[in-house]
Amino acid sequence: MYKYIIYLFLSLIILNTSFAKTINKINSRVIQQKADECLTCHFDNESNNNEPAHLFKQDIHFSKGIACAGCHGGDSSKDDMDEAMDKNKGYIGILSKEERYQVCVKCHSDPNKMKSFGSNIPTDQFEKLKGSIHFIKSVNAVTPIADCVTCHSVHNIASVKDPRSKVYPANVPSLCKSCHSNPTFMKQYNPSLPVDQYEKYRTSVHGKQNLKGDAKVAECVSCHGNHDILSVKNSKSPVYPSNVPQLCSTCHSDKNLMDKYKLPHDQYENYKGSIHGEALFVKQDISAPACNDCHGNHGATPPGVESISNVCGTCHAFNAELFAKSPHKKAFDKLKYPECITCHSNHKIVHATDELLGVAKNSKCVQCHKNEPNDKGFMIAAEMKSLFDSLESADKISLDLLKSASQKGMDVSEADYSLKQIKQILIQARTITHLSDIKEFKDKMDEGFIITNKTKQAGLDAIDEFYFRRYGLGIATIIITFLVVLLYIKTKRIDKKK
């Protein structure tokens, strides 16, 4: 019982101390604010431009007890204008574009000063900004393109968590739009950069949710960063091609966040194991498709059932063209099947093998086609796979024969060169499977069988020639040896007679 009383007593002491400290801070700020004669004058005097004063009342700096002199210099405790605006006391008045961000830096780059205001925001923003594409010199060659004031405003600065803030997530797209949707402004720095990103963003899933006030969805800062924005061509930029999948995964691999939107959270893991992911991450091929190549970037929207083939067709153009002419096109449209991904998947696209074709257990054809008398597709799939296997087998036989002939010293270079065409024919035949036309497929495969038959015969002829020469050489050697022996005997007889 006594233990609980002691705990309660100590808690009251701690609470009272904390409350007292809070009151003291508030009183201190009130005193500072009351002593801000600059604000009093500019707020009450109608002859002056009093809008900044009205705005500053809502500013986060005002709530922290920072007076006008904190940025403009001088002595804000004096009601005499000459004393208040004494340059010997650091008065600088209206800040120029060249120096205004430097005033921000004085506090925001000082950890101790920021801590004294009870702020835990990072103090390295300016260092990041200096390396940003926004901090390069503007057309006047004096000021940076964008500085603190450009994005955070001047007298009505609010916390990033405050919906009134220009940098509140739901407001960021409109903020960035103010420059990036201005063709006249943008062409001064990058004429090739599109100025319709904002309009595209508003058509995206992210943009629609953002417009509803959803602060969790991706906006400009989520992808490009805030103070340390880099060019898309910079390999350190989060939107550099090889970094995009990891960037998207920061949200799309977050199970709790994705559950909120009823979306899967394993797309990134699937992509890493895909043929596209291998090309991008392992082979470092930045032309390989990443998330934004299929979904879009500013106008990011998952392709619909009918538009998937158009998305895939931007790279796999011939495959998409053939599929559009195939009987599968009508069937897929009728059944509302997504075209390419029905057979190849979407994020986890693996290297297509010949096992996808045919009527074996792991083939894609048997997902829809069954071994039934009226199922023409099943029969075509089986025939196509049989022709594939036959041509590959014929290719191997011809290759082995030519290799054997070459090892025996026979010249089969011409036939060997012809046989190399089989690889290309097989690639073309795999593409033709998207047309699902057995006649077209047979015609292409017949080209291969003509070559394998010729090269096989060339290999057999070369081997026969080898053995013919070998046997002929043996017989010729025996005959020559016999003649030499006879000549030797005849010579001996002649020598004896002499």
How far, in Å, are 276, 308, 319 from residue 287 at the CA level?
Answer: 10, 20, 19
**80 torsion bin: left (phi>0), alpha (psi -120 to 50), beta (else):** beta
Query: Which two tokens mark 195?
Result: 């100025």
pLDDT of residue 1: 53
Domain definitions of the chain by residue range: 376-497
For residue 292, which amino acid is it?
N
How far, in Å, are 77, 153, 155, 158 from residue 56 at the CA level?
Answer: 17, 11, 5, 10
Distance CA 475, CA 251 (A): 82
Distance CA 271, CA 293 (A): 13
Helix, strand, or coil (residue 144): strand
Q: Per residue of the chain (498 residues), give pLDDT as tens.
A: 555 555 555 555 554 544 444 444 444 444 444 568 887 887 766 555 678 888 888 899 999 888 888 888 888 888 888 888 888 888 888 888 888 899 999 999 999 999 999 899 999 999 999 999 999 988 877 889 999 999 999 999 999 999 999 999 999 999 999 999 999 999 999 889 999 999 999 999 999 999 999 999 999 999 999 999 999 999 999 999 999 999 999 999 999 999 999 999 999 999 999 999 999 999 999 999 999 999 999 998 888 767 788 899 999 999 999 999 999 999 999 998 999 999 999 999 999 899 999 999 889 999 999 999 889 999 999 999 999 999 999 999 999 999 999 999 999 999 999 999 999 999 999 999 999 999 999 999 999 999 999 999 999 999 999 999 888 888 888 889 888 888 888 888 887 776
pLDDT of residue 308: 87
| Residues whose CB is less than 8 angstroms from the CB of residue 293 and which lie 6 or more positions away in sequence, other chains included | 314
> Taking a C-beta distance cutoff of 8 angstroms, is the pair 380, 435 a contact?
no
Give the phi and the psi of residue 144 in degrees, each rounded to 5. Answer: -70, 160
Distance CA 498, CA 495 (A): 5
CA neighbours within 13 Å on the CB side: how many for 366? 12
CA 62 from centre of chain: 42
Helix, strand, or coil (residue 137): strand
> Which residues are paired to 144 by β-bridges?
137
In the chain the first and final C-alpha atoms are separated, in Å, by 149
Distance CA 237, CA 235 (A): 5
Q: Can you give 250-265 as a three-state secondary structure string?
A: HHHCCHHHHHHCCCCC
| Residues whose CB is less than 8 angstroms from the CB of residue 311 and which lie 6 or more positions away in sequence, other chains included | 294, 303
What predicted TM-score, i.e. pTM, was given to this entire model?
0.77
pLDDT of residue 19: 44
pLDDT of residue 264: 95
Give the phi and the psi of residue 137 in degrees, each rounded to 5. Answer: -60, 140
Distance CA 226, CA 3 (A): 52
